[in-house]
A and B are shown apart, each in its own frame.
Chain A
């Protein structure tokens, strides 16, 4: 057994996190040494909470140093738990604060996924306010943004984040690690009922099935009823070839995403701004996704200062048939939504179709017609989708039907 372990970060540039160092001793009880920038306001509360976590893990004699930079309670407990589990790798108990009310909400298979904001899983600072920027989804990332020695601590923090942080209606997504490490992530994450998991570097349908099997067994043992959707990420030549099989591997797959950094490296090409090298791959994944009846999600735009370039890139993605784009900075979110918003003439056409549909419903007619033209159900569905998108993009008012009728 280790006698000394630590977790978390402290220092001048660190915010909303804390560093916890525990040294086990033979006797003498708990010696808690707290330094905190919120000492006079929350010092007592931090000490009480720390004592509770240590008691849960039956740590009776230890020096415990907490250097706090304004961490919220769920981060403090995550860091203490991570340090304890580094002391005792066999520890299987968890310290869980009560699941905050209203956070567990299931999401529909075909909901909007225009914008998904990536959040590094081991940095609490960015997650706390992510929801106020109103992305369609947030991605708590356990993969590339987390250094290998921090995977354990990130898993605990992401687990707590799902239980404690309100993302104000954004779909709660987690990007697990590449298999097989990603399977172990599932044990910590699935009981917290995320809405969707991103699986990186998927190359075969069998990998999706492997994840599904593990999820199903966890769902059964935790009695989870809400759906947990999957979004495999295609980021290799082989994955692109198998895109359709991957998208149709299981009914819980709702979208295919693409990752171009790894793909371009895989095919030995340079990643360029105009992206000719990935044209075929994006087309292949896009087509496979739509063939399988799932959404196609484009890669991220990595220059966070170039909003005009981002908007052009989103418009291009939309014109190709993509349904969403990854975001790596909150200010990209409104630009992505603007880019995916329907155009004025699209909205006008959709309005007419939806009003005709309402009229048909009111009269109990099975067939929708506009003038002398019959409207097919898929067209109605698309019009409803366009109106929904326009409402969400803030370019159409909820009361548009009254306004149209008055006008």
Chain B
């Protein structure tokens, strides 16, 4: 679905020169309504519950981060496309989506300069340097986030989450994933599901992400294969760890609802540009991301692994694409 969007946003030569023979590789179904702009509006709509939850929980810090990230992303898009001598494409809203996802993946306590640098790195290093929308290898928002996460580990890392001043008391606690990692404590499941816990601004509420994610899948803006495979893999591995450690289901729920899994599965991993094209490839991509998330959560120094998991799978996307080229009918093995 997504690849058609990239094709249909190019100006159609038919419009300018009258009827001509249109030669192009398949798919030949041409849907004029299915544009980049529409996809991006869908993503913004789908992010509304998560944004609402973020503003409810983190109040001003959420608002400031969202404004800063979206603003700087738009500005960087304008500046960097100018530097490359291209036409700025602000009205396809892709920079807004990048900024929004980036803001929602930041800790509420992150300093303002981290938001600014992350946004500039996301658009500059993550997107425009590869040639702009549709050309980037890695998810731009995650490139920006990784840049500041590694740079400012002291003020962005797991420990830094704990001093946010929100309206709910639990915000001053450790994030559920960090508490699990450091001391093996479990958060209340209903709180995890609704999102009344600490965490990155937009990731806390599994419910809000699920609502938006299902909307995206129904609209076919995101392909269902990636989140389904990703969540199923996490369920499988966390389930095995749960059974081995006799946690009675608490560990599985913690891994499913506690971190950025739902946010990552529905909004980050499904980026149509940096994920595989075929549906078999998408299943492999989702399963790989899920497995890497669990690997990082259980065996690395980080309490959460969605960002690095998605970035690593982005890196192998060209390989997955090559493995899963659909065979022409009649062609032998």
Decide whether A and B assemble into one complex. Answer: no
Task: Report A's interface with B, CB cutoff 8 A.
Answer: none
Task: Report B's interface with A, CB cutoff 8 A.
Answer: none
